[in-house]
Amino acid sequence: MNSTPPSSSASRLHPLEAATRLTPHGDHLLGHTSKDYWAFIGPFGGATAATLLRAALDHPQRIGDPLALTVNYCAPIAEGPLQVAVRPAKTNRSTQHWTMELFQTEGDILATATAVFAKRRPGWSHPIARMPAVPQPEDLAPYRVNLPTPWVDQYDMRFVGEQPLFRKTPHAEPQPAQTLLWLRDAAPRPLDFLSLASMSDAFFGRVFHILGVLVPFGTVTLTTYFHCAADDLPTDDGWVLGNAGASIYRAGFGDQTAELWSRDGRLLVTSVQATYFRDWTPPAD
Amino acid sequence: MNSTPPSSSASRLHPLEAATRLTPHGDHLLGHTSKDYWAFIGPFGGATAATLLRAALDHPQRIGDPLALTVNYCAPIAEGPLQVAVRPAKTNRSTQHWTMELFQTEGDILATATAVFAKRRPGWSHPIARMPAVPQPEDLAPYRVNLPTPWVDQYDMRFVGEQPLFRKTPHAEPQPAQTLLWLRDAAPRPLDFLSLASMSDAFFGRVFHILGVLVPFGTVTLTTYFHCAADDLPTDDGWVLGNAGASIYRAGFGDQTAELWSRDGRLLVTSVQATYFRDWTPPAD
């Protein structure tokens, strides 16, 4: 199995293009993890989600635009080549269902996914959720990060309110789970379903904000709904307002909710994820 | 392929037990649709979700309790026997990932699903969402339904506020998407993951509430997170408070969000779904 590691410096590809690139390889597709989108113990989940979505999006039998994507993170993906098996499970007149699996060693599944694509038709629309009123990104400070995870550098993040600073010891009292931030690709790139899939996971673990410290944490499963058609995607400067929160942490697992809004106030994406975490423990020294 | 149609009158089985019953059949599991849980053009999506969850839950290799379930409704299921293919995709020390497919004719997939199971460990818990303050179910009127769907009769529903009455013509102005209702199985049954999976879909289409009329509508994909372990399930009288809403309807598709709360104020389930709908059109007469 040969595959060239993606490198944004060695090619003209945008880092997200490189991270999600797939080429035919027998019955499957061949890709490669990206150092640009590395997280704590494997690739950033958003990049993996975008890679799995791309397997269906670029498939010759694909119809319509992404409506829903669920990615289940089964085990850490190691740095190196990866393969994706993709299959249209059912094609209807206006919807299409996909299943995907990601592996590095045949038979050892590292991620499973399903996606629904749909041909939208014009008709009644009814926005219910409202975009939070926030300052514009130009009026907010870029986030200067203190996280040991390269994927964060792929985004220009502008937090509304206090910049998150993660400390050595937890806050005395749990802090709010909700955060609002503008984000866009640090290297400019038109918004598309790959970037929206990736951005739907581009939020720090809510438990970090609640406790004020980093604890072992990861996404177990991510579900992202796309509320716009391809010809309806924003074509402005790429800023998206992210609104992330959570409902509960309990007995080793928690959830996360997220919305992505266009600058002109349209809800582009809603997303949920289930996460694992470990309790904070004082350093041993 | 032989299978006895489930009938709650012909046996001692609870209707939900009958609707979700699966027996080994070669490489797969054999079940049967239930008239008790029939919806407009096929089985109630909650019953299908519970059936697919049960395929993993009752599997001899299963570890832990359900954490997440995603069901994709690919095509209508006809009245009659059905088969489920179920496979543990990855088993870790404390989590397990499953994939399921439902079909009636080999090769023609009618539903796909993934599930995550997890062994929870005691530790830090942090409830964020709060149970809405509502009257108790005993103080609310049972819902006398005017919907042509038998599944609704499987639940005792007590709406908080106005009872939904669906009319021949839409409201002059769109009404709120959010509803609060107590619900429990009409035939008493202890709460378990099957009933919670089913209840996570036991809400009328939000578009019905918004417009006040029934329009062609269906769930395309449903994702349900379980926030309690098996030994932590309520053992009271089975009432669960449902809080359902939506974020957006746009160009033929919409979403739905739902929470299920125990009587003692614990968040048991959060759920999202993507739905299709057709615009209301005046009757032809």
Portion of chain A with pLDDT greater than 90, in percent: 88
- CATH code for position B113: 2.40.160.210
Domains in chain B, number: 1
Asked if residues B246 and B256 have their Cβ atoms less than 8 Å apart, the reply is: yes
Tens of pLDDT, residues A228-238: 999 999 999 99
* Shortest CA gap B111–chain A (Å): 9
pLDDT: which is higher, B122 or A243: A243
Asked if residues B99 and B111 have their Cβ atoms less than 8 Å apart, the reply is: no
pLDDT of residue A285: 62
Question: Best mutation site among A71, A74, A105 for testing chain B: the one with the most B CBs within 10 Å?
Answer: A74
* Domain membership flag for residue B102: yes
pLDDT of residue B6: 54
Quote the ipTM score.
Answer: 0.95
**Which residues from chain B sit within 8 angstroms of residue A102, using beta carbons?**
none
Q: Please, which pLDDT band fits residue A195 given cuts at 50, 70 and 90?
A: very high
Task: Determine the average pLDDT of the residues in A136-163.
Answer: 92
* Shortest CA gap B275–chain A (Å): 10
Smallest Cβ–Cβ distance between A120 and the set B68, B225, B253 belongs to B253
Beta strands in B92-178 (DSSP E): 95-105, 108-118, 126-127, 155-159
Return the SS3 of A127.
strand
* Domain membership flag for residue B222: yes
Tens of pLDDT, residues A104-129: 999 999 999 999 999 998 889 999 99
pLDDT of residue B145: 76
* Domain membership flag for residue A126: no
Q: Which residue of B has its CA nearest to A123?
A: B251
Burial per residue of B207-217, b for 16 or more beta-carbon CB atoms within 10 angstroms, e otherwise = bbbbbbebbeb
CB-side neighbour CA atoms (13 Å) of B131: 19
Is B225–A255 a contact, with Cβ atoms under 8 angstroms apart?
Answer: yes
Q: Which residue of B has its CA nearest to A95?
A: B74
* Domain membership flag for residue B131: no
- Give the length of chain B: 285
Question: Best mutation site among A41, A126, A224, A280 for testing chain B: the one with the most B CBs within 10 Å?
Answer: A126
pLDDT of residue A2: 47
In 3D space, the residue among A280, A283, A180 whose CA is nearest the CA of residue A240 turns out to be A180
pLDDT of residue A228: 95
**Which residues from chain B sit within 8 angstroms of residue A90, using beta carbons?**
74-75, 108-110, 112
Smallest Cβ–Cβ distance between B129 and the set A68, A74, A247 belongs to A247
* Shortest CA gap A68–chain B (Å): 7
Question: Best mutation site among B73, B96, B114 for testing chain A: the one with the most A CBs within 10 Å?
Answer: B114
* Shortest CA gap B109–chain A (Å): 6
Task: Determine the average pLDDT of the residues in A77-86.
Answer: 98
pLDDT over 60 at A254, yes or no: yes
* Domain membership flag for residue B8: no
Question: Best mutation site among A116, A208, A224, A256 for testing chain B: the one with the most B CBs within 10 Å?
Answer: A116
pLDDT over 60 at A23, yes or no: yes
**Which residues from chain A sit within 8 angstroms of residue B101, using beta carbons?**
89
Instruction: Count how many pairs of residues, chain A against chain B, have C-beta atoms within 8 Å.
Output: 202
Q: Which residue of B has its CA nearest to A119?
A: B252
Q: DSSP 3-state helix, strand, coil percentages of chain A (rounded to 5)?
A: 15, 40, 45
Q: Using CA atoms, how far apart are residues B276 and B206, in angstroms rounded to an integer?
A: 11
Host domain of residue B174: 15-118+136-277
Is B274–A248 a contact, with Cβ atoms under 8 angstroms apart?
Answer: no
Query: Is this model's pTM higher than 0.90 or not?
Result: yes
Q: Using CA atoms, how far apart are residues B159 and A49, in angstroms rounded to an integer?
A: 38
pLDDT of residue A145: 76
* Domain membership flag for residue A129: no
pLDDT of residue A12: 82
Burial per residue of A221-248, b for 16 or more beta-carbon CB atoms within 10 angstroms, e otherwise = bbbbbbbbbeeebbeeebbbbbbbbbbb
pLDDT of residue B31: 98
pLDDT over 60 at A8, yes or no: no
* Shortest CA gap B271–chain A (Å): 9
**Which residues from chain A sit within 8 angstroms of residue B92, using beta carbons?**
74-75
Q: Using CA atoms, how far apart are residues B74 and B111, in angstroms rounded to an integer?
A: 5
Q: Using CA atoms, how far apart are residues B23 and B30, in angstroms rounded to an integer?
A: 5
pLDDT of residue B1: 46
Tens of pLDDT, residue by residue, chain B (285 residues)? 445 555 545 558 999 999 999 999 999 999 999 999 999 889 999 999 999 999 999 999 999 999 999 999 999 999 999 999 999 999 999 999 999 999 999 999 999 999 999 999 888 999 999 999 999 999 999 998 777 889 999 999 999 998 998 989 999 999 999 999 999 999 999 999 999 999 999 999 999 999 999 999 999 999 999 999 999 999 999 999 999 999 999 999 999 999 999 999 999 999 999 999 999 988 776
Smallest Cβ–Cβ distance between B127 and the set A75, A120, A248 belongs to A248
| Averaged confidence pLDDT in chain A | 94
pLDDT of residue A1: 46
* Domain membership flag for residue A204: yes
* Shortest CA gap A140–chain B (Å): 27
